[in-house]
């Protein structure tokens, strides 16, 4: 999958769902699966969900673009409910994230490993334009390291979510953030939470890209 270089656009245009260049980028259609019950961090969670349906989102469309300074990921998936707030303990906020291997060989499907971090760019429907920059080194180790660099655009209409998650290509930090540049390749994945189904934390749909994310050369 290629994050296509788009000349003469700013961050505002990258984040605009109606920008014309998005129509010219071929999206990558990823089938999604529920995260395995066995991968949940506690026995209580495993027992609660072993007989419940989850991983309700079955497919996501993913495309990417950059302008030499910022990269934007556009996601689209079917969801009959717009869940922006938590209701008691049964309905939670919808959410989505793009996962990037911060170092070569980092296992994206396992959310990283000790010393091999994964960078998670996270959007949640109840947090609006402000996304989260998360680092994980294995299941159950996710931590937010920044809440300013990741910005989002969202729209729900006709039973469909359209979301753009954007961040700078380079981020000056000592944290295990994926540093992006033209020509760089890395493993990637997508996770989605369907709030109406009670999905949150490790209860979600996931898809691992079958190829590498390539940051397109500027030119």
Contact between 213 and 184 under an 8 Å Cβ cutoff? The reply is no
Note the pLDDT of residue 9: 97
Note the pLDDT of residue 86: 57
Note the pLDDT of residue 51: 86
Note the pLDDT of residue 133: 97
Give 174's Cβ-side CA count (13 Å radius).
0
| Low-confidence residues in the chain, pLDDT < 50 | none
Note the pLDDT of residue 83: 67
Beta-sheet pairing, 59-66 with 2-5? parallel
Note the pLDDT of residue 7: 95
Q: Residues 177-193: pLDDT tens digits?
A: 999 999 999 999 999 99
The model's pTM is 0.94
Domains of the chain by start residue, with CATH: 2-215 (2.60.40.1190)
C-alpha distance from residue 187 to each of 18, 119, 206, 210 (Å): 28, 11, 14, 9
Contact between 11 and 166 under an 8 Å Cβ cutoff? The reply is yes
């Amino acid at each position: 999958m290629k994050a296509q270089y788009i000349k003469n656009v700013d961050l505002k245009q990258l984040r605009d769902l109606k920008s014309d260049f998005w129509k010219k980028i071929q999206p990558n259609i990823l089938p999604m699966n529920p995260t395995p019950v066995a991968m949940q961090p506690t026995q209580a969670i495993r027992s609660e969900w072993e007989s419940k349906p989850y991983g309700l989102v079955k497919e996501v469309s993913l495309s990417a673009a950059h302008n030499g300074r910022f990269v934007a990921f556009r996601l689209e998936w079917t969801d009959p409910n717009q869940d922006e707030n938590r209701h008691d303990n049964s309905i939670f906020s919808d959410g989505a994230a793009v996962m990037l291997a911060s170092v070569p060989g980092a296992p994206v499907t396992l959310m990283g490993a000790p010393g091999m971090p994964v960078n998670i760019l996270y959007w949640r429907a109840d947090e609006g334009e402000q996304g989260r920059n998360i680092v994980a080194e294995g299941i159950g180790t996710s931590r937010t390291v920044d809440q300013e660099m990741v910005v989002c655009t969202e729209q729900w209409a006709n039973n469909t979510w359209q979301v753009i998650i954007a961040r700078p290509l380079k981020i000056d930090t000592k944290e295990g953030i994926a540093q992006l540049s033209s020509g760089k390749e890395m493993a990637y994945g997508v996770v989605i939470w369907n709030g109406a189904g009670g999905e949150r934390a490790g209860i979600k749909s996931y898809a691992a890209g079958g190829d590498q994310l390539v940051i397109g050369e500027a030119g």
